[in-house]
Amino acid sequence: MPLEMALIDGKRVPTKQWIDVLDPATAAVFARVARCGPAHVEEAVSAARSAYEKSWRFTTPAERARICRDIARGIGAERARLAALETRDTGKPISQSFTDVDVAARYFEFYAGAVEALSGESFLPERDLLAFTIREPYGVCGHIIPWNYPLQVAARTLAPALAAGNCCVLKPAEDAPLTSLALGEIALAAGLPAGVLNVVPGYGEEAGAALTSHPDVDHLAFTGSREVGEAVMTAAARNIVTVTLELGGKSPHIVLPDFDAERAVPLIVGSITEHAGQNCSAGSRLLVHESVHQELVTELASHFARLRIGPGSTDPDLGPLISAKQRARVLEYLDQARRECVLVTGGGLPKGDEFETGFYVEPTILDQVTPAHRVFNEEIFGPVLCVSTFASLEDAVELAEHTSYGLSAGVWTSDVSTAHWLARRLRVGQVFINNYSAAGGVELPFGGYRSSGIGVEKGFEALREYTRCKTVALHTGTRHLSRGK
């Protein structure tokens, strides 16, 4: 059984205790990963601090860009191995894992270019005063990520942080830690100096809490649930450090009578079935105008009936959920919803011997869901689409905003003015008009409003997120040179 050690100061470090890593398609243990505790986090933060003070903070953007490009090339060279590992660790269909690997490489390429364009501003507030701003790295950043898109999210948060000149300690999720460790190795091989990136797998309450409360961490970047986000922010408040929080969602599609069904239906289906709905931006609520409700639900149900479920390695439409715990959570939501709403399709475990051992759940549509129902408001994190109807645009906005989340929204209409009106009104970080694609587009800033988070990842914005602004004011003493003028 492979033992996956922590990566601290450029070396593989064993731990006394290990965590079993399960294949969600079979529930079989296929590796064991280090269970880091506070002492390992201490070592990792101190290695990051020392790498920052001794070398990384003095590197030029061009030097860091070169290493980021080499990391991107290293990811590309290991494309097949990384995709297979991601599918084994998370259960997702192999073609989705290939996309994740490609997007991870794109992050390093993008920030290699972007950091060379990062600049401050200059001011001449008085005749003899030249002032300018410098974007400086924070120093040591702590990164905590979830299990659903481990490689992609690790790259999304590490690439801008490293390119901006920070040193990083990454705590991957206990349920899917392997590609984070592989990324650490690839970065070392690409020339990233020891200590600049450290990876400390472990449980959230142990390694995660030790990282968020560490007094020598200067910035915390957290991606995960709203509940843990609150704990991370509380820890950050105690040390007065900044946070980036990328949290959950309950994102709606708003479908108006003049929508293009041919275009919308496959994208709505994809948005709730990609990685079996375990996606922060999953389009988990369908708010549809009452005049087109019946025709759309019928069409969606016929698409759902054709979806292929199976092990990620066979590249189905849906793989298993990540764990028995996550499947039990989804089934509990479905049990309650079956009594309160109308079950259109799915609602339980897929039938067949091949689904006996893995953590599978049927793709499900629930109709006549209202704000009074739990499934309307809470993030289920499974392949469950909740359908509600509206009669006016105002009703649609009210329904959309009934949950405390504000991550993404899809708007489906042929009328540009209506689309624009909705885009301006909705309190969400991303509005997709006649499309729904949060996963690609490394250059697009991505963040949540309200309970979906604080700050922005992706795009040029994220480089600013991983730097702080210093103002330098210089007295130029030129007054004597222009005497009399």
User: Rule CB under 6 A: which residues touch ligand NAD?
Assistant: 144-149, 153, 171, 173-174, 204-205, 208-209, 212, 223-225, 228, 231-232, 246-249, 280, 379, 381, 407, 448, 453
Is 280 one of the catalytic residues? yes
Is 168 one of the catalytic residues? no
Least Å distance, CB 319 to ligand NAD, is 16
CA gap 278, 380 in Å, rounded: 8
- From the centroid of its chain, how far is CA 336? 29
**Closer by beta carbon to ligand NAD, 67 or else 361:** 361
CA gap 303, 267 in Å, rounded: 11
Are the C-beta atoms of residues 155 and 234 closer than 8 Å to each other?
no
Phi-psi region of 239 (alpha: psi -120 to 50; beta: other; left: phi over 0): alpha
Name the residue type at position 408: S
Are the C-beta atoms of residues 106 and 440 closer than 8 Å to each other?
no
**Closer by beta carbon to ligand NAD, 249 or else 311:** 249
Give me the catalytic one of 280, 379, 386, 457: 280
**Closer by beta carbon to ligand NAD, 103 or else 280:** 280
Closest residue to ligand NAD, judged by C-beta, is 204
Least Å distance, CB 457 to ligand NAD, is 7
**Closer by beta carbon to ligand NAD, 316 or else 448:** 448
**Closer by beta carbon to ligand NAD, 408 or else 413:** 408
Least Å distance, CB 139 to ligand NAD, is 20
Least Å distance, CB 183 to ligand NAD, is 15
Name the residue type at position 442: V
**Closer by beta carbon to ligand NAD, 202 or else 358:** 202
Give me the catalytic one of 206, 246, 362, 401: 246
Are the C-beta atoms of residues 430 and 408 closer than 8 Å to each other?
yes
Burial of 429 (0-12, 13-18, 19+ CB in 10 A): buried
Residues in contact with 205: Cβ distance below 8 Å, sequence separation at least 6, in sequence order: none
Least Å distance, CB 299 to ligand NAD, is 27
End-to-end CA distance of the chain: 81
Least Å distance, CB 275 to ligand NAD, is 10
Phi, psi of 470 (to 5 degrees): -110, 135
Tell me the residue length of the chain.
Answer: 485
DSSP letters, 361-427, are: ---EEEES--TTSHHHHS---SSEEEEEEESSHHHHHHHHTTSSEESEEEEE-S-HHHHHHHHHH--
**Which active-site residues does the annotation give?**
246, 280
